[in-house]
Chain A
Amino acid sequence: MPRGWRGLKNTPPPMVRFPSHELEEVRVSTVSVPPVVDPTLDEPPATKRRDTKAALIMVAPAVILLLAFVVVPLIAAGWLSLHNVRLNSGRPATWFGLQNYTRLLTDPEFYRGLANNFIFAIIVVPVQTGLALGLALLLNRPLRGMSAFRTFFFMPVVFPMALVAVIWRLIYSRDTLGMLNAFLDWISFGHLGPYDWLGNAATAMLAIIIMSIWQGVGFQMIILLAGLQGISPSLYEAASIDKANRWQQFRNVTLPGLRTTLIFVVMVTTIFSFRLFDQVWILTQGGPNDATTTVMFQAVTAAFSENNVGKGAAITVVFFVIVLLITLIQRRILREEREVS
């Protein structure tokens, strides 16, 4: 018998005291936090046991998938990063110690990639969230054919990024056949351009940012739209009775009502923006002069173009730690704000 089975707590489990409709709620909460199965309870009632079993079964798919696709790869990446491993090589991996890490942390290109990741995130997160909010507000009106507009704005999200990037390559092409250059040429009567959007270090990152926002904004818009529709119309009614104008309604009804949704959107956008890869691979291959190289791009080229799996694994481990830290800090800040308000 494990120790603590005959514990000191003799109080009966709380749920038996609850009326039946509240019991449901308690069950739900047990399911969502399964590890808190208290083994110190004396005389566990049969219902409690069945609940635990149900909880374990229900949590199993998530746990198994997380183990298989997050925990195990992470452990494997940690192991690989400490070895000299070549892709598809018949030779056994050899111990490399922290060599991959010391090389990585002294490699200026890695820091360049990291800086580019931050530049991308710092611009994309606020702009994309703001734009998504604006679009959601616009599309939350009872107008005829509104669903057509919503579909229209959501469409870029449905297309795979690779496909979108190929199309934007034609838009950004540096000759006069490039759609953007052709357009500028046309509105300026031939005075502007042609510009080398992707070949110029000053504009390449900006070009990628713009296309990424265009592609991604529909996703955040849909989530915010759902959030908007969750705000009770009676609140707006009450506000208008209080003679609040549109701006005041937005500040005092819409924004507080959207707070949780916005926090979610900001966090998801941050994580997405650190994953920047497809656009870079197709549009610029990290160039010109490393202006658009990103950490993900470096990890993929190290592992799959240079067959250096150990180096690729080390990059992903370092990057995982960085993104985890950012997410934790963000959570901290946003939660504090929530508590203050």
Chain B
Amino acid sequence: MSRSRKLAAGAVLVAAALLTAACGGGGDSGGASGGQSAQAGSGTGEIKVWGHQGEAGEVTALQQAVDSFNSSQTDVKVTLQLIPSNDYTKTVQATSADQLPDVLEYDGPLMSSFVYDGKLAPVDGLVSAATVSNQTASVKSQNTYPGDSKLYGVSMFDSGLGVYGNKKLLDAAGVKYPTGLDDAWTADEFQDALVKLAAVDPDGKVLDVKENYGGEWPTYGYLPIVNSTGNVVVKDGKAEGNLNSPAAVKAVEQFAGWRQYVDPNTDDKAFTDGRVALSWVGHWLYNPYAEALGSDLVVMPLPDFGAGTKTGQGSWAWGVGASSKNGAAAGKFLDYLMNDTNVAAMTEANAAPPGTTSVTAASALYKPGGPLELFSEQLAKTCGTNPPTESCVATPRPITPAYPVISQQFSQAFLNAYMGADAQAEFDKAAKAIDQDYEDNNGYTN
């Protein structure tokens, strides 16, 4: 036998082996609509927990919760593994369902993907009824999978959007501004405010919309504009006629028109340096802003584009791995994690809106009368997955396994429109791409 032929045969073998290795891995662990249930198990023993490595304060709070859980009882022992937050989601995505730990953290909008891929188990029956009923309305809606209406996670904290204002600059320009949810600016009033502010501003740039943020920010930060016209991205598995409806497109066009007043904020100091009077961003900048502006800081809802002011919602949450053999123990740990002490310590560390009603009522920032009362008020009125109406405020990002596609398509269409492209054409294109994705995946029903 000739050497070259042997070599060729060997090469084919190597190629075939590598190919199977590359294509395998996923396995055929897919499930029907909704995820598999975890086995309840004995409720004792060791459980593994994966968490994302957030900011230092968040890590300390989480570590402390785990330590005190382990020392408070002897039945369950938790081992916590922290994964850097930039790699966290990719790690969970790339891990097959049977390799996932008993308890894992996940980023809110990806819950549906994980359920669809059979990676998360429902937490109903594993965590106590008291824990579930103490969750705020907004996190409950965020953690419920529409495919089977079951709860797949519990949250220690939430998130929210608003417009921060610099009182001194607003007053100097003679701008009247809202004091709460009820008198939110309409889009036209907001535009008038921009014009008035720009007239007295040295460079005419008076608004910060965090152009410097990348990643998922456009979807989180600007999707409420579409929601504020009474539209959702996808209704009954269709984006056509919803995402690209005339009202939504008109609102995006109006927002794009404000770009001339927007500071690109390359140094991320536009608001704290007093270069702009208004900053369109989330709860996470309250502390730095309050420190820089003191009593000049005002917190306002986003402008109303026709169907009432809207805000984003949703953040990291905790679920149970679908392959867990010890769901009962996982539930015990989640109950403990959601107690007032731990949720209060965590939200003290990251200044996020608490995910439980009891801690919200006691939170210095978010309790009625607190400086960020507006945020908890917005989150209490969540729209869930229903098309938004005047009476609700917080809109979750689309709760569907198609979220990655929706986020990518919306961001691209929105940014193109913001840069001056034809908004209708951009959103038509995005709606078509989203609908095609649904079609390719049988509407994500199986």
Taking Cβ atoms with an 8 Å cutoff, the residues of A that contact B are 2, 35, 37, 39, 52, 56, 63-64, 67-68, 71-73, 75-76, 79-80, 84, 86-93, 103, 109, 169-170, 173-178, 199, 201, 285-290, 301, 305-308
Contact = CB atoms under 8 A, between A and B. Distances in A.
B421 A288 contact: yes
Contacts of A52: 3
Contacts of A88: 26, 93-94, 117
Contact of A75 (B5, B19, B119): B19
Report the 3 A-B pairs with minimum CB-CB distance, sorted nearest first.
A288-B419, A289-B421, A88-B93
B11 A63 contact: yes
Contacts of B416: 287-290
Contacts of B419: 199, 201, 287-289
A116 B409 CA distance: 20
B14 interface: yes
B271 to A, nearest CB: 14
B15 A79 contact: no
Contact of B267 (A56, A80, A92, A177): A177
Contacts of A305: 404, 407-408
B405 A308 contact: yes
A283 to B, nearest CB: 11
Given A2-B1, A174-B264, A64 B14 contact: yes
Given A71-B15, A90-B117, A289 B93 contact: no
Contacts of B267: 177
Contact of B26 (A76, A90, A178, A306): A90
Contact of A76 (B22, B30, B408, B415): B22
Interface string B104-130: 000000000000011100000000000
A153 to B, nearest CB: 28
B386 interface: no
A75 B15 contact: yes
B11 A307 contact: no
Interface string B403-415: 0110111001001
13 contacts: A39-B4, A67-B15, A72-B19, A87-B93, A88-B26, A90-B26, A91-B26, A93-B23, A103-B436, A287-B415, A289-B416, A289-B419, A308-B437
A128 B407 CA distance: 37
Contact of B203 (A91, A176, A306): A176
B440 interface: yes
Interface in B197-216: 203, 205, 214
Contacts of A308: 405, 437, 440
B29 interface: yes
A169 B96 CA distance: 38
Nearest to A83: B23
A72 B30 contact: no
B15 A175 contact: no
Interface in B238-288: 263-264, 266-267
Contacts of A301: 408, 412
Nearest to A285: B415
Contacts of A2: 1-2, 5
B3 A178 contact: no
A71 B15 CA distance: 8
Given A56-B3, A169-B266, A289 B420 contact: yes
Nearest to B267: A177
Contacts of A289: 416, 419-421
Contact of B22 (A72, A175, A306): A72
Given A2-B5, A75-B19, A306-B404, A90 B97 contact: yes
A92 B266 contact: no
Contacts of A80: 23
B28 interface: yes
B412 A76 contact: no
B264 A91 contact: no
Given A39-B4, A169-B266, A176-B203, 18 more contacts: A2-B2, A67-B14, A73-B22, A75-B19, A80-B23, A88-B117, A90-B96, A90-B97, A91-B28, A92-B28, A175-B264, A199-B420, A285-B214, A286-B412, A290-B421, A306-B405, A308-B437, A308-B440
Given A76-B19, A306-B404, A175 B203 contact: yes
B266 A170 contact: yes
A306 B94 contact: no
A177 B266 contact: yes
A219 B393 CA distance: 55
A306 B19 contact: no
Given A175-B203, A287-B416, A90 B264 contact: no
B29 A68 contact: no
B18 interface: yes
A327 B421 CA distance: 35
B93 A306 contact: no
B369 interface: no
B56 interface: no
Contacts of A68: 14, 18
Interface in B388-446: 404-405, 407-409, 412, 415-416, 419-421, 429, 436-437, 440-441
B77 to A, nearest CB: 30
Given A64-B14, A308-B437, A175 B405 contact: no
A175 B263 contact: yes
A90 B15 contact: no
Given A72-B18, A90-B28, A92-B26, A175 B437 contact: no
B7 A56 contact: yes
A201 B421 CA distance: 10
Contacts of A87: 93
Interface in B16-51: 18-19, 22-23, 26-31
Contact of B30 (A91, A170, A199): A91
Q: Among B27, B28, B421, which residue has the most Cβ atoms of chain A within 10 A?
A: B421
Nearest to A87: B93
Contacts of B31: 90
B4 A72 contact: no
A288 B256 CA distance: 13
B266 A39 contact: no
A67 B23 CA distance: 16
Contacts of A73: 22
Nearest to B26: A90
A79 B405 contact: no
A90 B441 contact: no
Contact of A72 (B15, B26, B415): B15
Given A68-B18, A170-B266, A290-B416, A92 B30 contact: yes
Contacts of A307: 404-405
Contacts of B214: 285
A35 B5 CA distance: 10
